[in-house]
Structure formats: structure tokens, C-alpha cells
A and B are shown apart, each in its own frame.
Chain A
């Protein structure tokens, strides 16, 4: 579904992705783990078209989209719940969700919103409140729900567990796992390698702009190098 080949990206003159190869098949949950500053967020930004690509290619559902502008990628089925949630803090919870479906005006919008509220009942309670007043966990739920309102075939998730209490982390990972049943393919970026690998099918390890290890989630969890570097034993 998603094919990334030799992808390079830079901030100004400083190259931070040095040729990433990565693929995600339809129906998979694939995770990218790696330390601070490895380039995970930059990779997802390239995929969403909000960060310039200076080499390599991205193809999605059989079409090249390396240089498609950012606002046109959701129409092609690629959504992102970005790092730091990035919800619209000046708008209500419901308005955030409605804007997630900005591309649509049909009756399914209401239906999708009802489903989002079913998935995250707390958002329904707070639907008319300003989204800026939500707690971190609620904002994360809103960010995921907003991305799903765009009816993606593939969802990019950037560190959904960041800064959350363990019980909320578990809840968020459960939701991500549940996306399989909704036919949404997932590319999950995480520093919480253990949590991510335990729900993923496959994984990639990124270090300073390169993929260093890849394999099935089971293999990676058992890999001594990963256990040492990311799993803390």
C-alpha cells in the first residue's frame, strides 16, 4: 500500500533522512521506533507532504505521490495524527472532528462522528467544549478521531503515547490495534518501543536518519540489540 524508496529530506542544508526504505502492506500495523531525533517525525511529515523531499520516492496505493501537496494527500487516503496532537485549540471538540472530515459534506459525516463518539465516549461528553481545555489523553483521542474522520485507508500516527499515564497509553494502543478491524492500515511511530512492537505486525528501527534494523515485531522484541537499546534490558 505504501512504498518508500531511498527517501531523503533536509532542514535547510542539514540532511536528516539519508535514504529511507520502508513499506507497509494493506491491513498491516507497522511501527517505526527509534530514539530522540532519529528522524521519525520528519519521515511522517514527508509522507504527509508538509516537509520537502530532496531525494527518493513515495508511492501510495500504486500511485507516485512524492511531490503531491500536503492538503491533497488525505483525499488519496492518507491521514496523520501528528506529534504533539496539534488539535485546533480555539475550536470545540465537535468542530475539530467536523474539520477532520473537511473534504466531505455527505451524510456519512454524522455517522462517522457518532462512531468516533462511540470509540471515545469522553469526547462526546465534551463535544461542545473548547478542545484546548482537554487533558493530554483526551487531546490525543481527539487527534486520532479527527484523523479517522477523514476516512483514511492508511493512518500515520506520531507518538500517540507521548506524555500519557500508563493506563491511557494502554487504552490508546488498544484503539490502534482495533483499527485493523476498521480496515485502516497503520504506520505507528513510537519511542515506546515495547508498547508499539507488541501491537504491530512488523517494525523498523531508525537511528540518525537511517533504518538500521527491520523485521517482524516478534523478531524485534526478541532481538538483543533492541532489548538493550530500547526496551531497557
Chain B
């Protein structure tokens, strides 16, 4: 039994990161119908920039802030330089642009930093906390707590603020949003910035546990995509549940089958969702009534 608990805890920790990546997918997908495969690079940038800022002598919170802000800048630039100019192109082209952007970001990171594996210290030490026979790293609490804070914060933003509702309105009907005076171009910028910030935060939180390097983004993008599919693309609640579920499935696969099959879990999930329930657990965008 302690074994099961241990797998569950590590699954939920990794799952919280997948949930944040899936949330990033969701936000951009809702604003623009684009599946942004550069989402994983935002996570990588969050971790890598923190590593190097910390290494250069900045205190950890400052290093993390620099990393998140820089990543937001990259996200906004991606929208302004690559997505916005291609406005009106088929969605598939836009998705390919994001794949191209992710390759570019990875390449530049490799040149600016290096190809090594890095970490920085956990926020509050590494002393394991006993938990129902299993043990829990303090950093895991940061990861899960951070993810929950982001989800609650975003829920409040979308349901309680006029700006949040303007984002939802733009996602639902871009034409009508413009007619009521919403600058939909700005909403796109906001969505990319927000997704980048969430991705970078995930990278900052998880790097002490999983370590980072210039190429961790591809895997994370795929896992986050699988999580978003599982939960239902476009649904924040789906991103949360899908992410946690995928993390747990992966941990159980690694624990009870073999860690060799761990990464296959995400692909099996994608295929199973496509075959069995293309809408995902929480359905897609609500269907329009004519």
C-alpha cells in the first residue's frame, strides 16, 4: 500500500505540471483555435533562465521572476511576429508555425546557455515529509500548491473580471467581441503572455525535482497536449483533471509495469481518446445553437 501511495504522490506532482502545460494550451486554443506546440518551451525557458540567473548570483525569487518575465516576452513575441502576421491562414499552418517556433527557441537556448542538465535548489529544502507510509518532497507541495493557485486565480479572472469575460467572449465569437469594442488583437497578446507565464511558472516549480535542459520542452508539450485532449481541448477544468490523471497513469505505468513504458502512456492516452471519446472528458467548446 505505501507503494501505491508513493506512486500516487509522484503522479500528482508531475500531473500538476502537465495540468499547467495543458492550461497553457487551453488558453491559446480558446483565444485563437491554435494548438501552440511551443507551450513546452515556455516551461523549459522558465527552468533554464532561472538556472542561469541564479547561477549569476541573483536570489532565487528574483531569478524566477526574471525567467517568467522573459518567457512572457517570448510568448508575446511569438504572437506578434509569427501568429498575428499569419492571421487568416488555415489553423494547420498556424500550428506548424508554433512547431517551427519551438525548434527555434530550443536552438537559441542551446546556443545562449548550453546542452547540460541543470537544477537549482528546492525552495524549502529536500527533507522528505512522511505521508501515509510514503514520503513527499517539500518541493512537490510547491508544485501542487502552485498549480492549484494558478487554477483558482484563473477561475476568478475568467468569472469575476470584465477583462476575463472579454477573453471568453473573444474565444466564443471574435466578430461580436469586436463589435462591443473589445480589442481582439490585444486579447490574443494577453492569452499568449498568460500562457507563457503559466508555462514558465511550471518550469520554475518543477525544475528542482525533474531537472531541466534545453530539450525538455518537446516531451512536456506532448504530455500537456495529451492531458488537454484527455480533459477536452479548450476546457480549463479538463486541463486540470486531464493533467493530474495523465500524471497518475504515468506513475502507475512506471511503477507497476516498467519505467521504460512511462512515456508511452501519454501516446496511449492520446490514441484512446481519439478512438473512444474525441471530445475528451469534459467535452469541447459548447456547440452553437442556430
Question: Which A residues are closer than 8 A to B by beta carbons?
Answer: 48-50, 69-72, 74-75, 79-80, 82, 86-91, 95, 98-100, 102-103, 105, 130, 132-133, 146-147, 150
Question: Which B residues are closer than 8 A to A by beta carbons?
Answer: 162, 165-166, 168-169, 171-173, 175-184, 285-286, 288-289
Among B169, B178, B184, the residue within 8 A (CB) of A88 is B169
How far does the Cβ of B187 sit from chain A's closest Cβ, in whole Å?
10
Among A74, A89, A102, A133, the residue within 8 A (CB) of B162 is A102
How far does the Cβ of A141 sit from chain B's closest Cβ, in whole Å?
15
Cβ–Cβ contact A71 & B183, under 8 A:
yes
Given A71-B182, A74-B181: A86 touches B165 (CB 8 Å cut-off): no
Most buried by A among B175, B176, B286: B176
Given A90-B168, A91-B172, A95-B165: A132 touches B180 (CB 8 Å cut-off): no
- A70 to B178 Cα, complex, angstroms: 6
Could you list 7 A-B pairs, sorted by A, with CB under 8 Å?
A48-B179, A71-B181, A71-B183, A74-B180, A86-B173, A87-B176, A88-B177
- A91 to B172 Cα, complex, angstroms: 9
Q: Tell me whether chain A's interface is mostly helix, strand or loop, or mixed.
A: loop
Which residues of B have CB within 8 Å of A103?
180-181
Cβ–Cβ contact B162 & A105, under 8 A:
yes
Among B176, B184, B286, B288, the residue within 8 A (CB) of A82 is B176
Among B162, B168, B173, the residue within 8 A (CB) of A87 is B173
Cβ–Cβ contact A99 & B175, under 8 A:
no
Which residues of A have CB within 8 Å of B173?
86-89
Measured CB to CB, the nearest residue on chain A to B171 is A90
How far does the Cβ of B34 sit from chain A's closest Cβ, in whole Å?
19
Cβ–Cβ contact A99 & B165, under 8 A:
yes
- A95 to B166 Cα, complex, angstroms: 10
- A222 to B180 Cα, complex, angstroms: 38
Cβ–Cβ contact B172 & A150, under 8 A:
no
- A48 to B286 Cα, complex, angstroms: 27
How far does the Cβ of A121 sit from chain B's closest Cβ, in whole Å?
22
Most buried by A among B172, B179, B286, B289: B179
Which residues of B have CB within 8 Å of A88?
168-169, 172-173, 176-177
Cβ–Cβ contact A80 & B179, under 8 A:
yes
Cβ–Cβ contact B181 & A50, under 8 A:
no
Cβ–Cβ contact B175 & A86, under 8 A:
yes
Among A69, A100, A132, the residue within 8 A (CB) of B289 is A132
Cβ–Cβ contact B168 & A91, under 8 A:
yes
How far does the Cβ of A137 sit from chain B's closest Cβ, in whole Å?
13
A-B pairs, 9 with minimum CB distance: A86-B176, A74-B181, A70-B178, A71-B183, A103-B181, A90-B172, A88-B172, A88-B169, A102-B180
Which residues of A have CB within 8 Å of B165?
91, 95, 98-99
